[in-house]
Amino acid sequence: MTTHRGAASAAPGPSALPPQSPSPASPSTTAAPAPRLHGLDALRAVALGLGIVLHTLAPFLPGTTWFRPDPVFAPAADITTTVIHLFRMVLFMMLAGYFGRLVLTRRGAGAYAKDRAQRILLPLAVFSPVVLLSIIGIEELARRLRGDPDPLPPLPSGIPFWLFRDPAHLWFLWVLVQIIVVVLLVRALVVACAGRERAARWADRAGAALALPGGVALAALPYLGALLLQGSTRYGVVQPSHLDILPSTLSAYAGAFVVGWFLHARPDALSRLVGSWPVHLGAAVVLTPLVVLLEDTGPIGVNAPLSALAGWCWVYGLVGLFLKALAGGSPVVRYLADSSYWVYIAHLPLTAVIQLLLAKTGWWPSVQLVAAWAIAVPLLLLSYDLFVRSTWLGAWLNGRRHPRALRRRTAVDAATG
């Protein structure tokens, strides 16, 4: 089910953009938690949520074997998939880099590495085999619902090491592990050779350059290099289907991670992005139709720069917009941000089963899609509140336990009733 292609004066100053306290993809700290950057929290949840959109669109894409694609809806699904792939994972990796340096500067490299091993590497190892087995069962269900007489290929015999070779929809955690290892090694080497203060000055200057007008083009260079390396821009950067190291994937997303890392090193960087978000989003809206029109017909020398620049304009624009619009935060935003990691991990088997059952209704594809979201999302949020948020699972995935929302609501109703 996964898609393999994978005005500055008006901006708030640094004091209005406090460091974010850790939540789903950034760990808790032993020190007193810093105020949250609610806009970045929400944006990370959006990046994960768009992954769910991609996976629920996949059965409607041209060439799918799950459903019989609708000739009217399939092109719309294809265009939507193309647009989301332009920026979603680059955005997520940039946020991971920003939060990564935030945690490292507060807790140290060792604690950062340990936390990421616990909350990225371990969930990858535990949940990927479970998801893979469930997908195999769902494929068998799909075969029977289609009335396909041909059985699925037999599973490999012997010790099932193959279960740990396919990261399924958690492939981005595998890429993130690779990036963190490389970044920590390079950082240690730079600090050892140049000293901590000089290394910090270099990072500050890099962050300043990235936040300048036109800095988005600098941020887009690794993405451009990756697209040229893989020779195609179809659905963005190729994602690994196994626990492989793909040069194009690593270069694009490591570049995004480092951009976030350097933006954190420059105290006024986010303020600059807040001030320039209309320009960046405007550029993204102009460039994206060109990407869609030229994706299958334009030369790679044109498509790759357009795609890379459009993708990063989306990233810069969305970061600025969300920081401005959600500066005050809200309990709902915090809850959805905290739940997004679990919801993403758990969504794929559930949405696949729901979509297979809805396919038998004969409803329009758009209605099926909305119905799948309307059924799956509340169930996933309920599972998070009941089984994750206040339990050891929540402490593992989110870095800390949070009180259950349903329990608080029940207590309030009892007190007021």
For residues 237 and 259, the answer to whether their CB atoms sit within 8 Å is: no
Query: Which residue from 86, 145, 102, 149 is spatially nearest to 314, judged by alpha carbons?
Result: 86
Q: What pLDDT, on a 0 to 100 scale, did the predictor assign at position 19?
A: 39
pLDDT band, very low/low/confident/very high, at 35 (cuts 50, 70, 90): low
pLDDT tens digit sequence for 64-110: 766 666 778 889 999 999 999 999 999 999 999 999 999 999 999 99
Cα–Cα distance for residue pair 340/346, rounded to 1 Å: 10
Rg of the Cα atoms in the chain: 22
Q: Which DSSP symbol is given to 59? A: G
Q: What pLDDT, on a 0 to 100 scale, did the predictor assign at position 5?
A: 46
Task: Over range 332-353, report the average pLDDT.
Answer: 95
Q: What pLDDT, on a 0 to 100 scale, did the predictor assign at position 2?
A: 40
pLDDT tens digit sequence for 402-417: 999 876 654 444 444 5
Residue 391 has pLDDT above 80, yes or no: yes
Measured in degrees and rounded to the nearest 5, phi and psi for residue 213 equal -55, 125
- For the entire predicted model, the pTM comes to 0.87
Task: Over range 25-40, report the average pLDDT.
Answer: 58
Q: Map out the domains of the chain as residue ranges.
A: 8-416
When mean pLDDT is compared across 65-74, 281-290, 315-324, the lowest value belongs to 65-74
